[in-house]
Each structure stands twice: as structure tokens, then as C-alpha cells.
Amino acid sequence: MTDDPKKDAEIEARFWAALRKDMTVMLGLGTEIEYRPMTAQLEDDQSTGPIWFFGNRESDLVEHLGTGAKDASFHFVSKGHDIWATVSGTLQVENNRAMIDKLWNSYVSAWYEGGKDDPKLALLRLDPQHAKLWKDGSSLVAYALTLLGRDPTKDYKDNIAEVSMR
């Protein structure tokens, strides 16, 4: 873990940029509901939560949420494998029509025959509270450091950040 708040902030900024670009996470409710791929939706240029997901009211995930908030987490790997993350927080159904209108796009509409008024549509809100973030730890770099007689774990500790997202 880094002991440098600037380094943590830099890794966190890279996480938000990667999530905005790549968007696919594995979202679940721990041991209650298995993890499944979901598309994270962010508002504009945000660098904090909430993180939004469109779901199906008939899925076990949405049914399990019911009307309350539950502890949830997601795992994320950027397409270039330069950022890895585990993010935890609370997840709830929040069918905010203004937010549905704001986040709606052609990719989302393909899943809902009735459009924004589809009875199966559920907008989920994840309020992130904590994240563990890893910046690229290439095994090739680790191998090269080993050849030079250096311990790669010492160099890599500055590429891991634990951040509060409250």
C-alpha cells in the first residue's frame, strides 16, 4: 500500500477514468447472490459515486434487493489490465426517472422491449464506500527486477491504493 496520498489519488483517478471507458464489472451481493457482469453507468465527469446499473426486475439480484439497500461489491479489470479494483458499498433499487432519462442510451434500450417504461426495468444505485485498487503489476517487470537482484514486491507496494469513497 502506498503511504502517499498523492499516489493514492493518482491511482484512484486512473480507476475512475478506466471505469468510465470500460464499464463492465462483476457485481454481486457477496455470498447471497453470485457475481455477474453488469455495465456501470457514471454521470458526466464524476470521480465519485453513485455508480448506476440497469437491471431486470425478474433477476435474482433485483428480487433479492427488494426495497432496501444491501451490502454489495464489484470487481473490475480494465481492458488493458492496467487497473484492477474491488469496490464495496451499498446497492439499492432507485427508479429515479430523471436519472433513467440521463443514462439511457441505445445499448440499454436493446435490453428493454418497452423502453424506459418497460415493467422489467430497474435502475440500481451503488454508493461506493471503500475500494482497493491495483495499478499494473506486469509479471515481465517483476521478472526483470528479480534478474537485477531486487524484490519486486517492494517496488509494487506503491501501485496499490486503499481509498475511502464516502
Q: pLDDT per residue over 97-136, tens digit each?
A: 999 999 999 999 999 999 999 999 999 999 999 999 998 7
Please confirm whether the linkage preceding 50 is cis (ω < 30° from 0): yes
Please provide the CATH number assigned to the domain covering 5-164: 2.30.110.10
pLDDT exceeds 70 at position 147: no
User: Per the structure block, which three cell numbers stand in for 117?
Assistant: 417504461
Altogether, the residues listed in the chain come to a count of: 166
Nearest to 27 by CA among 42, 38, 15, 41: 38
* Per-residue model confidence (pLDDT) at position 144: 56
At residue 16, what is the residue type? W
Nearest to 76 by CA among 46, 35, 108, 43: 35
**Tens-digit pLDDT profile for residues 41-91:** 998 777 788 999 999 999 999 999 987 899 999 999 999 888 999 999 999
CA–CA distances in Å: residue 103 to residues 86, 87, 127 = 23, 21, 16
pTM, whole model, 2 decimals?
0.83
| Residue-range domain boundaries for the chain | 5-164
